[in-house]
A and B are shown apart, each in its own frame.
Chain A
């Protein structure tokens, strides 16, 4: 779906305003429930993305509760994206 974010509006806030059901939790950048993967475009975290490790940021993951678009973006979203952050470490 296509969302239009206002200036200084996070992706999550825009999604909520337009009634799109993005998952979220803490809304402070700690829990990573709202994780999306940026396929194209530029997102800026306006608070430290504590729920993501360096490897996740390098892989293009972003926390949509604290990320504001700085250009047109294409973002993969949903619970499955957050689940990809970690896997069973023993299996």
Chain B
């Protein structure tokens, strides 16, 4: 299907009435600086018997509490392992009058419980709805992960397992009232699941693979890799029909494809996926190279393993998160085990060019990157979030509780940090802000792990355009 034949956008009109922004460029131009961040705080595996929380972080440089966790919305139960979360509405619904980007959908990875927070008061959100695990298990799904709003008010959640934590996973759909609508996909389309992103003008969704919850929950075991229990495929779906049209096996160099992003430009048919275990980044595109408009994927960035005196084998980078700037000009990704975050120029999408990198924590980075008098960073760069104007990159250091405990056991005792770099998009450079460190090790219930980051006005890892 060519762009001119793609569905929906011709009658879309782009009269901006609903949530979000009319175009990615409008987001860059019209958004105010982020002054509040919502950050997941997790207690699984720390020994602290307290519920996870959504932390409210003050990012207003003019504020006396800048860089502090100023509020925490505690979940009603312990043991959720909050992980990824998303908005009830984004720019893909910008044509829907009356819809607001106001509710955060906050799943528990381990519990399969789904919470809904009303953020009308940005600094004091409150829980309004809780979907209990049993309601999710009824649809033979568990382990909720990626939350995207889909146009017109519905919400789609990728689910990594069945009700027993085994394969296959699938997708759960919620309606605009945050009630479970049912399973979105016909069962059997995929076996493994993880992250997904959609690009409506190409009528496509792309999804990735981690493993069965029963496999990754307890921790990373090479025995499971050898047994083929970890994913290495990406799936291209017919977005309207909810069926898989094409699957690409990324092979040995594409083991554990996690976060996946399309470029933000709605016409673009380019995207990236980071393959954690193989420590590579693949570029995928509907390149039409073979004339039939099929999707293809090619490794474009290879992070080489590095020797370390304390390790028996070379240390892989472990590309655990990546994002594309709102102007589609830069790709950022984290090497969680090595300890660096990289910035690539992707103005030629198939040929990324390393622009800059920062070392902070990890196996090879400085353990006190913001200064020797500041607290130690005991993990590596992990979940990333970029300001809409592309000038401030933030990240946290926790990956997943049981995996954290294998590779950075000190994090359970000391908690995570949130760090920031100032980015110069014009020059393609980054500089660590040594005056910024949000300490999740110093909280009333004890040290917490910090994970995904979101802005109230949308961000580079949640907004999609029609």
Q: Which A residues lie at the B interface, using CB under 8 A? A: 21, 23-33, 35, 48, 50-53, 78-80, 82-83, 85-91
Q: Separation in Å of the A33 CB from the closest CB of chain B?
A: 6
24 A-B pairs within 8 Å (CB atoms) are namely A21-B78, A23-B47, A24-B78, A25-B81, A25-B217, A26-B110, A26-B111, A27-B133, A28-B164, A29-B164, A32-B217, A32-B219, A32-B402, A33-B81, A48-B164, A51-B165, A53-B223, A79-B405, A82-B402, A83-B45, A88-B406, A88-B407, A89-B221, A91-B312
Say whether A79 contacts B79, CB under 8 Å: no
In the complex, chain B residues whose CB is within 8 Å of the CB of A33: 44-45, 79, 81, 110, 217, 401-402
Within B109-134, the residues touching A (CB, 8 Å) are: 110-112, 133
Any A CB within 8 A of the CB of B161: yes
A86 and B402 in contact, given A26-B142, A32-B217 (Cβ under 8 angstroms): yes
Beta-carbon nearest neighbor of A34 in chain B: B79
Docked complex Cα distance between A53 and B164 (Å): 16
**Residue total for B at the interface (Cβ-Cβ under 8 A):** 43
Nearest CB on A from B220, distance (A): 7
* Bound form: Cα–Cα A85–B409 in Å: 13
Chain B residue numbers with a CB within 8 Å of A80 are 47
| Known contacts A27-B133, A33-B79; A89/B220 CB under 8 A | yes
Q: Do B218 and A32 touch across chains, with their CB atoms under 8 A apart?
A: yes
Tally inter-chain residue pairs, CB-CB below 8 A. 113
A91 / chain B contacts, CB cutoff of 8 Å: 310-312
Among A23, A31, A88, the residue within 8 A (CB) of B213 is A31
What is the chain B residue whose CB lies nearest that of A87?
Answer: B406
- Summarize B's interface: helix, strand, loop or mixed: loop
Alpha-carbon distance A86/B217, docked complex (angstroms):
11
Q: List 4 A-B pairs, minimum CB-CB distance, nearest first.
A: A30-B165, A21-B49, A25-B110, A86-B219
Q: Which residue of A lies closest to B337 (CB)?
A: A90
Q: CA A54 – CA B222 in complex, angstroms?
A: 15
Q: How far is the CA of A21 from the CA of B166 in the complex (A)?
A: 27
Within 8 A of A (CB), among B205-244: 213-214, 217-223
Query: Which residues in A have their C-beta under 8 angstroms from that of B110?
Result: 25-26, 31, 33
A86-B221 CB under 8 A given contacts A26-B142, A33-B110, A79-B45: yes
**Closest CB in chain B relative to A57 CB, distance in Å:** 13
Which of these, B165, B222, B311, contacts A28 with CB under 8 Å?
B165
Is the pair B220, A86 in contact by a Cβ cutoff of 8 Å?
yes
CB contact under 8 A between A25 and B111, given known A32-B217, A80-B47, A90-B313: yes
The answer to whether the Cβ of B46 comes within 8 Å of any Cβ in the partner chain is yes
Q: How far is the CA of A89 from the CA of B79 in the complex (A)?
A: 26
Q: Name the distance in Å between B238's Cβ and chain A's nearest Cβ.
A: 31
A26 to B111, CA, bound (A): 4
**CA distance in complex: A82, B220 (Å):** 13
Q: Considering the chains assembled together, what is the distance between the CA atoms of A27 and B405 in angstroms?
A: 21
Pairwise interchain contact B79-A25, C-beta atoms closer than 8 A: yes
Besides the contacts A32-B402, A88-B406, what 13 more A-B pairs have beta carbons closer than 8 Å? A23-B44, A23-B47, A24-B78, A26-B112, A30-B213, A31-B213, A51-B165, A51-B218, A79-B47, A82-B402, A86-B221, A90-B312, A90-B315
Chain A contacts of B79 at CB under 8 A? 23-25, 27, 33
Q: Which residue of A lies closest to B313 (CB)?
A: A90
CB closest residue in chain A, given B133: A27
A83 with B402, Cβ < 8 A, contacts A23-B44, A25-B110 known: yes
Instruction: List, in ascending order, chain A residues with CB within 8 A of B112's CB.
Output: 26
Residues of B within 8 A of A48 (CB): 164
Q: Is B163 interfacial (CB 8 A cutoff)? A: yes
A31 in contact with B222 given A88-B407, A90-B312, A91-B311 (CB within 8 Å): no
Question: Which residue of chain B lies nearest to A21 when distances are taken between CB atoms in the complex?
Answer: B49
Q: Which residue of A lies closest to B43 (CB)?
A: A23
B297 at the interface (CB under 8 A from A): no
A90 and B316 alpha carbons, distance in the complex (Å): 9
Q: Looking across the interface, which residue of chain B has its beta carbon closest to that of A20?
A: B49
In the complex, A38→B8 CA distance in Å?
59
Q: Which of A31, A50, A79, A82 contacts B166 (CB 8 A)?
A: A50
Q: Complex Cα distance A33/B80, Å?
A: 11
Q: Which of B387-413 contact A (CB under 8 A)?
A: 401-402, 405-407, 409, 412
Contact with A along B312-330 (1 / 0, CB 8 A): 1111100000000000000
Scoring A27, A87, A90 by chain B CB atoms within 10 A of each residue's CB, the highest score goes to A90
Which residues on A sit within 8 Å (CB–CB) of B47?
A: 23, 78-80
If A33-B44, A86-B219, A86-B221 touch, whether A26 touches B165 (CB-CB below 8 Å) is yes
Q: Is A82 a contact partner of B45 (Cβ separation < 8 A)? A: yes
User: Can you name the residue of chain B whose Cβ is closest to the Cβ of A30?
Assistant: B165
Q: Which residues of A contact B161 (CB under 8 A)?
A: 30
A88 smallest CB distance to B (angstroms): 5
